[in-house]
Amino acid sequence: MHAELNTINIAPSSTHIYSVIWLHGLGADGHDFESIVPSLNLTAEANIHFIFPNAPVQSVTINNHMKMRAWYDILAISLEEHTVDIPGIYQSAELVNQLIQKEIDKGIPAKNIMLAGFSQGGVIALHIGLRYPQKLAGILALSTYLPTITQLSDEGSDASKTTPVFMAHGILDAIVAIEAGKSTFDKLSTLGYSIEWHDYLMEHSVCVEEIGHISAFMNAVFV
């Protein structure tokens, strides 16, 4: 178990009011979404601390046990089956929770901290955000789903029902099927979460139209 995540940071150029913790996908690193920031055209960009953590390096079963940055192990993947290391999700969630606490310790309230994640990172963002005891600024869940959704009935927080959630997915995604993402959205909607869904004609990636929608979502939160 790693004691602490190392991070790539974009410091606010003015007063630190908001924080965004953005989690990369399998095999990528903290630099993966660093370059997206200028494209978001955020009104409050000068007041936002962006934190891009590097996932721990571990062996990944579906990739012939190669070592790479991963938030948890993936044991098997097919159209019928997507088996993941559930305890690994909880372990990574603990590490990211430490980053949230560091921001709170700096005086940034939970309601000004957003979690964002792509693919595996989106799993962790949803997993933490929907369990977090206080309302967060928002959750950006991109090209992802939630393997721990059944545990939400016991573990979900009341406060998270008011946290705005943005889910987006590529219709042509061959890595995380859009059906998995849409199923998560449908279940969370039924459970009463404040959630919106977007899909795009793209694969397992991010597109210009999506960046526009992410920008609108973030600008509505960070005012």
* CA-based nearest residue to 30, from 46, 11, 50, 49: 50
Helix (H) or strand (E) holding 21: strand 18-23
> For residue 22, which of 176, 208, 223, 206 has the smallest C-alpha distance?
206
Catalytic residue among 119, 127, 160, 169: 119
Q: Is 215 a catalytic residue?
A: no
Please say if 158 is a catalytic residue.
no
Instruction: Please confirm, yes or no, whether 189 is among the known catalytic residues.
Output: no
In 108-185, the DSSP E strands lie at 113-118, 138-142, 165-170
Candidates 29, 32, 85, 173; catalytic one? 173
Joined tokens for residue 154: 């016991």
Within its chain, how far is the Cα of 140 from the centroid?
Answer: 6
3-state class percentages of the chain: helix first, strand second, coil last, to nearest 5: 40, 25, 40
Single out the catalytic residue among 183, 204, 213, 215: 204
Alpha helix segments (H runs only) across 58-135: 86-105, 120-129
Contact call for residues 194 and 162 (beta carbons, < 8 A): yes
Residues catalogued as catalytic: 119, 173, 204
